[in-house]
Structure 1
Amino acid sequence: MASNTTKEVLHDLSPYLKVYTDGTIERFVVTPSVPPSPEDPTTGVASKDIIVISPEVKARLFLPKLTDSNQKLPVLVYYHGGGFFTDSPYCLSYHRYMNFLAAEAKALIISVEYRLAPEHLLPIAYEDSWTALQWVASHVISNASIEKNPWIIKHGDFGHLYIGGDSAGGNIAHNIVLRAGVEPLLGDVKILGLFLSCPYFWGSKPVGSQSKEDLIGFAYKAWMCVYPSATGGIDNPMINPFAENAPSLSGLACSRLLVCLAGEDAFTPRGILYVETVKKSGWNGDVQLVVVDGEDHDFHVNNPYTKKAKDLIKKLATFISK
């Protein structure tokens, strides 16, 4: 690795990774995977790994303990966080979080493994995420050429389809539900609800108490690394839903919205603005905002054992199980 000291750094996302001008990528943090389980010892949730489209798009499925072998459950398609460049459904924090959420909500969860930047630059993660959602929706139609999953066929209640995500996954979830407003899902499946936890939105103009210096920190550097070709840079509508050329939030293709934020999180001012903008947009649905004081970004994923984390997971579960 000593030779890298003489190479020019193009993107520095330390302590996670560096991208060099010659195209090489040096990762410093590799998140270990944990295996799926036929029965999680804490929650009783079963999990298994599937391939949506080989080899690009994968997922881990989570099925809570059933009271009836033919029980129908709400379906949640979930997108993990990690700045578009790290983490997966298979790492301990997300595997554990999905177990807790599936058990609490009594929901069938499809936690999507999209390809990560900078090896696979955006918009690949968005496309993989859309492909996964369309595959889930395909379970309502008769098409022998699409390989379907028995858990989803038997237990999925497509009258209660939810999309959710945290951090970069919240960004993905927002963009996916906007896309569903202009591009229908297979079988004309409808999305009932969307929840965003600590969503990764950014831009070139300060919001709330932010300074201009705040805007060129890690969140800015990460976006420029994972989507260097984005038109408008940090004001591309995919990262800045309030940009002048961004589509109206009235186009969100769901009827229920829950936005969960952490009081100490740098993304929170934009999360609050997101809710205010939705309310003013003419979107015809029910919107809820939860701000958890004294907590920082993704606290409920990183440590789900605290009282505040448990309370937030219960709120999310209540939202999904309605």
Structure 2
Amino acid sequence: MDANTAKEVLHDLSPLIKVYKDGSVERLKGTSHVPPSLEDQTTGVASKDISISPEVKARLYLPKLTDPDEKLPVLVYFHGGAFVVDSPYSSLFHPFTNILAAEAKALIISVDYRLAPEHPLPIAYQDSWTALQWVASHVIADTSIVKDPWITKHGDFVKLYVGGDSSGANIAHNIVLQAGVEPLPGDVKILGLFLSHPFFWGSKPIGSESKENFDGQHLANRVWSCVYPSAPGGIDNPVTNPFSEDAPSLSGLKCSRVLVCLAEKDLMTPRGILYAETVKKSGWNGEVQLVVVDGEDHCFHLMDPHTEKAKDLIKQLASFIS
């Protein structure tokens, strides 16, 4: 008999994780680990793992250079996984990030923030902000900061982007809002934000959302109560419901370009559409692009990045960055 069968379950977030009343956590997916490579066989992209702080790690991706002193757009990227699974090193995210780095010809810093429930929110937001501050600090002449030579030599900080998928898109949104309140080191500016299938939810349906998904038992609700049990307002906390009454105005996004990528069959798509519309109406002074891919579901491009629709979406992300 499996030891876990006799234990009482506190949170069953299948197919992601199970959390038991004794505090143990069983991850059902997202635990694979792909090593970095000096040259990816398919894309030619080099990758390496670094420490940003004792708590925050990252994997860096450098595409093949045409000039040894070439300057590249910089993308700070946050992986998805409902705040509870996956990492930059997983078999889901490592291949995708290689492809995106090559396609966009961009230097990517894929952030390994700490996961819930062992590290409940807002820890992931704090780790991600730490990572973005560290990346921006490469422009200042502060010798107390341990800098990375790839970023120092090849980063073009006029072209700084922040983006993510699913819960990583939620993080990216919140980090770019925070940059509107707290300037980055060296007064570095974020040029663009991309949100791919962003994890936004709430207690009441909006637009075309079905009422039956708002009985509090939807996976999004169960994930939220597990990852951020102390969130004021619960599922309507502004970090997951940017349309709640006390949410800050989206005019506060500290960037000049936004790309929102969605999939027709994804239950979170109506909120993604509302997000793009709300940014446009907020008085925010920038350019908003909205992409909705027909016939596909949540983060389809990660599950198989080699389908035609996935290739098209990755090309759109790359075009936005480059």
Within 5 Å, give how 1:253-292 maps onto structure 2.
Answer: 253-292=254-293
Deviation at 1:2, TM superposition (A): 5.0
For residues 241-297 of structure 1, what are the alpha-carbon distances to aligned partners after superposition, in whole Å with 9 as ceiling and x for unaligned? Answer: 000000000000000000000011111000000011111110000000000000111
SS at match of 2:265: coil
SS at match of 2:75: strand
Q: In 2, Cα distance between the equivalents of 1:68 and 1:21?
A: 56
More displaced stretch, 293-302 vs 246-255 = 293-302
For residues 161-201 of structure 1, what are the alpha-carbon distances to aligned partners after superposition, in whole Å with 9 as ceiling and x for unaligned? Answer: 00000000000000000000000001100000000000000
For residues 176-233 of structure 1, what are the alpha-carbon distances to aligned partners after superposition, in whole Å with 9 as ceiling and x for unaligned? Answer: 0000000000110000000000000000110233233313311111111100100000
Structure 2: runs of 5 or more not aligned: none
Deviation at 1:144, TM superposition (A): 1.2
Q: In 2, Cα distance between the equivalents of 1:26 and 1:62?
A: 30
Deviation at 1:7, TM superposition (A): 4.2
Match of 1:293 in 2: 294
Q: Does 1:40 align with 2:40?
A: yes
Within 5 Å, give how 1:77-226 maps onto structure 2.
Answer: 77-215=76-214, 216-226=217-227
Match of 1:9 in 2: 9
Q: Residues 162 and 190 of structure 2 are in contact (CA less than 8 Å); yes or no, is this contact kept in structure 1? A: yes
SS at match of 1:257: strand
Match of 2:31 in 1: 31
Q: In 1, Cα distance between the equivalents of 2:256 and 2:20?
A: 44
SS at match of 2:194: strand
Whichever residue aligns with residue 60 of structure 2, its letter is L
Structure 1: runs of 5 or more not aligned: none
SS at match of 2:276: helix
Q: In 1, Cα distance between the equivalents of 2:268 and 2:39?
A: 35
Q: In 2, Cα distance between the equivalents of 1:228 and 1:310?
A: 37
Match of 1:49 in 2: 49
Q: In 2, Cα distance between the equivalents of 1:101 and 1:37?
A: 15
Q: In 1, Cα distance between the equivalents of 2:239 and 2:156?
A: 30
TM norm structure 2 = 0.97
Q: In 2, Cα distance between the equivalents of 1:13 and 1:319?
A: 34
Quick one: structure 1 residues 260 and 30, their matched pair in 2 at CA, closer, same or farther if it must change by over 3 Å? closer
SS at match of 1:19: strand
Deviation at 1:145, TM superposition (A): 1.1
After the TM superposition, which segments of 4 or more aligned residues of structure 1 sit over 3 Å from their partners? Answer: 1-8
Q: In 2, Cα distance between the equivalents of 1:213 and 1:134?
A: 41
Quick one: structure 1 residues 29 and 312, their matched pair in 2 at CA, closer, same or farther if it must change by over 3 Å? closer
TM norm structure 1 = 0.97
Q: In 1, Cα distance between the equivalents of 2:250 and 2:23?
A: 37
Quick one: structure 1 residues 119 and 159, their matched pair in 2 at CA, closer, same or farther if it must change by over 3 Å? same
Deviation at 1:143, TM superposition (A): 1.1
Q: In 1, Cα distance between the equivalents of 2:65 and 2:75?
A: 16
Q: In 1, Cα distance between the equivalents of 2:30 and 2:196?
A: 24
Q: In 2, Cα distance between the equivalents of 1:25 and 1:318?
A: 39
SS at match of 2:57: strand
Q: In 1, Cα distance between the equivalents of 2:5 and 2:164?
A: 37
Q: Residues 30 and 87 of structure 2 are in contact (CA less than 8 Å); yes or no, is this contact kept in structure 1? A: no
Whichever residue aligns with residue 317 of structure 2, its letter is L
Q: In 2, Cα distance between the equivalents of 1:5 and 1:303?
A: 33
Q: In 2, Cα distance between the equivalents of 1:39 and 1:3?
A: 42
Percent of aligned pairs with the same amino acid:
73
Q: Residues 27 and 85 of structure 2 are in contact (CA less than 8 Å); yes or no, is this contact kept in structure 1? A: no
Q: In 1, Cα distance between the equivalents of 2:106 and 2:306?
A: 20
More displaced stretch, 26-35 vs 227-236 = 26-35
Deviation at 1:18, TM superposition (A): 1.8
SS at match of 1:74: strand
SS at match of 1:53: coil
Match of 1:69 in 2: 68
More displaced stretch, 5-14 vs 61-70 = 5-14
Q: In 2, Cα distance between the equivalents of 1:20 and 1:85?
A: 14
More displaced stretch, 16-25 vs 102-111 = 16-25
